[in-house]
Structure 1
Amino acid sequence: MLELKEVSFAIRKDGEDVPLVDRVSIRVPKGHFMAIVGPSGCGKTTLLKTIAGLNPESGGALFWDGRDLSKEGDFSPSEIGYVPQFSIAYDPLTVDESVEAATRLRVRCEDTEELDQRIDRVLEETGLRPISDRRVKVLSGGQKRRLGLAMELVSDPKLLLCDEVTSGLDPRSEREIVRLMYDLSRKDGRIVLSVTHSLAHLELYDSILVLHEGRVAFHGPPDQMTHYFSVNDTEEIYPRLATQPSERWHSSWQKHSESYQKMMDKNRARLMNTGELIVPAAPGADEPAESKDVALPGFFTQFATLLSRRWRIFFRDRGQVFLQLAIILIFPVLVTIFSEKASGNIRRFSDTRSDDLMAEIQEQQSVRSDQAKVGSAISGIIMFQVVLLSLMGSNNSAREIAGERPIYEKEKFGGLRPSAYLTSKVAFLACLVIGQSLWMAFFVNFFGTFRGDFIQHAGFLLLVNAAMTAICLAVSSLMRTAEQASLLSIYLVGFQLPLSGAVLALPESVEIFTRPFISAYWAWSGSVEALQTQVHDAVKSVIDTSLSAQEACLYALGAHIVVALIATWAGARRPQWD
């Protein structure tokens, strides 16, 4: 049984506590199908999230099978299923792949046979078997709602919370979904709570909870609603609620609640006597129930599932694949177009001193001219590679977490370990970073020549790409929307060039504060230090910015990566439900 006793949830606004859910008290027995209805903004979804534990109650207590959830721990992931308003499946995947991934992330199966049986059972229960090979993006609204239910049923939850799963559906699809939820409530004593704004198909529910401004205005059988509110039709209930303040409706309900509870108890007894409702025996009875919590899969199972799913989504997104190929192919070509200027010879000063002063001056001017021409070109080409790889890093990860945040939060609620999720992201992005960086280094060196230690230069290109990828992944983890993450990541890349000092030296008073945070500077400086002596001198002759030792550059880029991953971890662990 689920029981709420004077449960409240309030937010702080303008220095005062504003209750969104106010002193809600209800009892919901096993095998019960209840609708939560009320005008927009009355607290329906807020109450559902409070029951789920997403909103910490500010007053009262919630009990599940006699267990005080506020004192004895929240629901285990297998006890509860939560179907939010948004889609919890990825468009490129098929129905079967979506259910399989949900099962692998939430249920520890002994073998493949058990996994297949669980998937087949859920597809059968929700009527999705005939369309199991269809991609999510081509499903209708009703089919997506069925898929959302299926992905929650893989762990056999005893409490299923559904938030507006019928909104936006045509009347036929709405009735089919309500009927499906009704059937689900009749299996294994499952409680199903459905938040809905619609007042259609109420006859399928065992009880209706009507909220008004966060307070209970009614909780009883659906056939008693019109009588209680003194209206002729259920569509008149919402206008009727607006005629009195919520406190008056709540006070009135408290006077009549016991009589309506007795009606619901009688209806429940009748359904059990006729066999329409079968509730498994509770533990401790003559025939103890054999239900037990479904064990969560281990870290490596979740990691492997997430990584496999991410690659599958990547290769099915043609736009993303073409973009990555275009970047990998075009960016190195852009660099090589300008590399010819960096291949020129740098004349040396003559070992013998000339007696002709004019000839010596001309020689110095020629050498300095060569140094300026070649040094400037090499410095610019190195920075060009660094900035392009920074741009690749931004493209790799700016939307990686923020773009799928709602799905991630939902999967985390269902038992997904943030560590497994973050590790899968790092593994996926590491493959992109290594491929992009090494290809850039080898391509440019093959069609041009890096006039220094190629291995060190390639290492710095790899590190700057990894650093910017990690930084933008942290941004993606900390931002609430993909648009915010993308915009901030673009700004970060945009400031790499001017703040690096490679083109125009910054004042020392500014440089000392900006340099530690500019990945492009450390990769550029480390690569310049890897140049041959004569070429290195040529570059130094045309720049005003001081260079740092290679060890310092390595440590700085490594620190960028580590700090960014720590920030990503913090953002991934922090709840960000809307």
Structure 2
Amino acid sequence: MLQLDNLSFHIAKDGEDFPLLDEVSLDIPTGHFMAIVGPSGCGKTTLLKTIAGINPETSGSLRYQGRDLAEEADFEPHEIGYVPQFSVAYDELTVDESVEAAARLRIKSRTTTELDERLDRILAETGMTEIADRPVKVLSGGQKRRLGLAMELVSSPKLLLCDEVTSGLDPRSEREIVHLLHDLSRKEDRIIISVTHSLAHLELYDSLLVLHEGRVAYHGPPSGVTHYFSVKDTEEIYPALSQQPSAKWQSSWNKHRKHYEDKLIANSANNPTPQAEEAGEDESTEPQVRAPGFFAQTATLLSRRARIFFRDKGQIILQLALIIGFPLLVSLFSPKANEQSQKLSDSMADNKIVELINRTEVRESRLKVGSANSGIIMFQVVLLCLMGSNNAAREVASERNIFEKEKFGGLSSLSYLTSKLLFLSVLVLVQSLWMGFFVEIFWKFTGNFASHLAFLVMVNAAMTAVCLGISSLAKNAEQASLLSIYLVGFQLPLSGAVLALPEAFEPLTRPFIAAYWAWSGAVDSLDEEKFNAIKAVTETSLSQSDTCIFMLLVHLVIGLAAALIGMQKPRWD
């Protein structure tokens, strides 16, 4: 049984305490199918999230199977299922792949056969066996609702919370979903609570909870709701609610509550579920659901991410364009960088004018070569920063809702972060190494080429990590993309590679500019001649390689720390 006792949830609004739920009390027996209805903004979804533990109750208590969820032990991930309003599946996957991934992330199967049997049973229960190989992106609205239910049933939860799963469906699809939920509530003594705007098919529910401005106006058999509100038809309930304040409805309900809830208890006793009849007084012998470990979850996430990536033609084309196009752009500047700077003649000219001309030509040659080499290194660095931003800016923010849902189901934030790092590391290595080797074909790097490659990899990795942190902390994908673009945009002007910054300003900005450290470190790995040529064209002080490596590692660590913090922080819509 699920028991709510004076459950309240308040938020701060305009500096004052504002109740979204106010002293909600009700008892829901096992094997029960309940609908939560009420006008928009009455607190239906808020109540569902408070029961789920997404919203922490301000006061009151929640008890499940006799235990206080606040004081004793909260729901285990396998005990509860939550079907939100948004889609919880990726368009690039099939129905079968989506359900399998959900199962692998939530439960630990002893054998592949056991997993396959579970998946077949769930697909059959939700009527999706015939479309198991169909991509999610081509499913109808009703089929996507069924898929959301299937993905929650993988752990056989005893409490299933559904938020607007019939919203936007045609009448036939709506009835099919309600029938499916009704049937599921009769299996395994499962409690199902469904939030809905619709007042159709009420005969399929065991009870109806009517909310008004966060307060209970009615909870009892659907057959008694019209009599209680003194209306002829259920469609007249909402207009009737608006005729008096919610506090008055709550007061009226408290007077009549016992009468209607006694009817629910009597109906529940007279109509036990098949499982309850078979079990009698015996305890359930169902084996305990085990959660998968860190490595199992990481492997599942990585496999799913790779599959999505290779099926997204737009992303493949974009990555190929970046990997091929950016190095080509850099190579266009290689002829100037390959020129050898002139040197002073060993024998000084007797003619002072000739000597002056010779020195001027040598200086101009050194400036030209130094500028070209400095520019080609910075061009590589900035383009790799742009690649890093593209890699990670939307990586978390674009799938935040699905991530929060999977975290609710027991997904470890550390597993999620690790899978992202492994996937992004492949992109970083391919982009950076290809940039270095391709440009080397046209621009003969003279110096420590391995060190140069290391700085290319590190600046891409640092920018990818920082943008992953931004993606984890941002409110949405658009905000994450915008912030990441701004970050890349400031890399060139604030690096000092093109124009030296004011001395007072430089120490304040330099620690935050990854492009400076990669450019400076790569310059330091050049041979002496090119290094001196670059020194002749820039007023910006150059740092030694060790310092540059250290600072890029600091950027990398900060980005990863921000990503983990952002992933651990709840961010439900």
Smaller-chain TM-score bracket:
over 0.9
Cα displacement (A) at 1:292: 4.8
Per the normalisation by structure 1, the TM-score is 0.98
Cα displacement (A) at 1:347: 1.3
1:426 aligns with 2:421: yes
In 1, Cα distance between equivalents of 2:287 and 2:62:
21
Q: State how 1:470-481 maps to structure 2 within 5 Å.
A: 470-481=465-476
1:134 aligns with 2:134: yes
Equivalent residue number for residue 56 of structure 1: 56
Q: State how 1:543-558 maps to structure 2 within 5 Å.
A: 543-558=538-553
Equivalent residue number for residue 183 of structure 2: 183
1:526 aligns with 2:521: yes
Q: Count the aligned residue pairs.
A: 573
- Classify the secondary structure of the residue corresponding to 2:537: coil
Cα displacement (A) at 1:264: 1.1
Equivalent residue number for residue 15 of structure 2: 15
In 2, Cα distance between equivalents of 1:312 and 1:212:
46
Cα displacement (A) at 1:372: 1.0
Per the normalisation by structure 2, the TM-score is 0.99
Cα displacement (A) at 1:277: 4.9
Equivalent residue number for residue 377 of structure 1: 372
- Classify the secondary structure of the residue corresponding to 1:490: helix
Equivalent residue number for residue 37 of structure 1: 37
Most deviating of 338-347 and 78-87: 338-347
Most deviating of 288-297 and 5-14: 288-297
**Alpha-carbon deviations, 1:301-360, whole Å to 9, x = none?**
000000000000000000000100111011000000111111111111223333321121
**Alpha-carbon deviations, 1:69-100, whole Å to 9, x = none?**
01012100000000000000000000000000
Q: State how 1:399-418 maps to structure 2 within 5 Å.
A: 399-418=394-413
Cα displacement (A) at 1:508: 1.1
Return the match for 2:298 from 284, 290, 303: 303
Cα displacement (A) at 1:448: 2.1
Q: State how 1:146-165 maps to structure 2 within 5 Å.
A: 146-165=146-165
In 1, Cα distance between equivalents of 2:116 and 2:561:
38
In 1, Cα distance between equivalents of 2:405 and 2:224:
36
In 2, Cα distance between equivalents of 1:30 and 1:279:
9
Equivalent residue number for residue 107 of structure 1: 107
Cα displacement (A) at 1:405: 0.2
Cα displacement (A) at 1:411: 0.1
Cα displacement (A) at 1:397: 0.4
CA contact 1:31–1:277 (8 Å) conserved in 2: no
Equivalent residue number for residue 571 of structure 1: 566
TM-align CA RMSD: 1.0
In 1, Cα distance between equivalents of 2:26 and 2:142:
30
Equivalent residue number for residue 224 of structure 2: 224
Most deviating of 443-452 and 226-235: 443-452
- Classify the secondary structure of the residue corresponding to 1:70: coil
Q: State how 1:193-272 maps to structure 2 within 5 Å.
A: 193-272=193-272
In 1, Cα distance between equivalents of 2:428 and 2:73:
42
CA contact 1:79–1:293 (8 Å) conserved in 2: no
Most deviating of 260-269 and 405-414: 260-269
Equivalent residue number for residue 361 of structure 2: 366
CA contact 2:33–2:192 (8 Å) conserved in 1: yes
Cα displacement (A) at 1:126: 0.2
In 2, Cα distance between equivalents of 1:153 and 1:191:
13
- Classify the secondary structure of the residue corresponding to 1:288: coil
Residue type at the aligned position of 1:556: M
In 2, Cα distance between equivalents of 1:230 and 1:451:
90
Structure 2: runs of 5+ lacking an equivalent: none
CA contact 1:409–1:575 (8 Å) conserved in 2: yes
1:561 aligns with 2:556: yes
Equivalent residue number for residue 116 of structure 1: 116
CA contact 1:142–1:169 (8 Å) conserved in 2: yes
- Classify the secondary structure of the residue corresponding to 1:219: strand
Cα displacement (A) at 1:281: 7.5
CA contact 2:29–2:268 (8 Å) conserved in 1: no
Residue type at the aligned position of 2:518: A
In 2, Cα distance between equivalents of 1:443 and 1:483:
33
**Alpha-carbon deviations, 1:400-435, whole Å to 9, x = none?**
000000000000000000000000000000000000
**Alpha-carbon deviations, 1:480-507, whole Å to 9, x = none?**
1000000000000000000001111110
In 2, Cα distance between equivalents of 1:291 and 1:64:
18
Residue type at the aligned position of 2:492: L
**Alpha-carbon deviations, 1:18-65, whole Å to 9, x = none?**
000000000000000000000000000000000000000001000000
CA contact 2:43–2:214 (8 Å) conserved in 1: yes
In 1, Cα distance between equivalents of 2:188 and 2:277:
6
In 2, Cα distance between equivalents of 1:492 and 1:362:
45
In 1, Cα distance between equivalents of 2:155 and 2:500:
60
1:439 aligns with 2:429: no
Kindly tell me: are residues 316 and 462 of structure 1, through their superposed partners in 2, closer, same or farther at Cα, counting changes over 3 Å?
same
CA contact 2:397–2:476 (8 Å) conserved in 1: yes
Residue type at the aligned position of 1:83: V
Cα displacement (A) at 1:280: 6.6
In 2, Cα distance between equivalents of 1:52 and 1:293:
21
Percent of matched pairs sharing the same residue = 64
In 1, Cα distance between equivalents of 2:197 and 2:447:
69
Cα displacement (A) at 1:369: 0.9
**Alpha-carbon deviations, 1:96-146, whole Å to 9, x = none?**
000000000000000100110111110010000000000000000000000
In 1, Cα distance between equivalents of 2:523 and 2:356:
28
- Classify the secondary structure of the residue corresponding to 2:34: strand
**Alpha-carbon deviations, 1:288-307, whole Å to 9, x = none?**
21135411001000000000
Residue type at the aligned position of 2:453: A
In 2, Cα distance between equivalents of 1:287 and 1:398:
54
Equivalent residue number for residue 482 of structure 1: 477
1:279 aligns with 2:276: yes
CA contact 1:9–1:20 (8 Å) conserved in 2: yes
In 2, Cα distance between equivalents of 1:68 and 1:208:
24
CA contact 1:188–1:280 (8 Å) conserved in 2: no
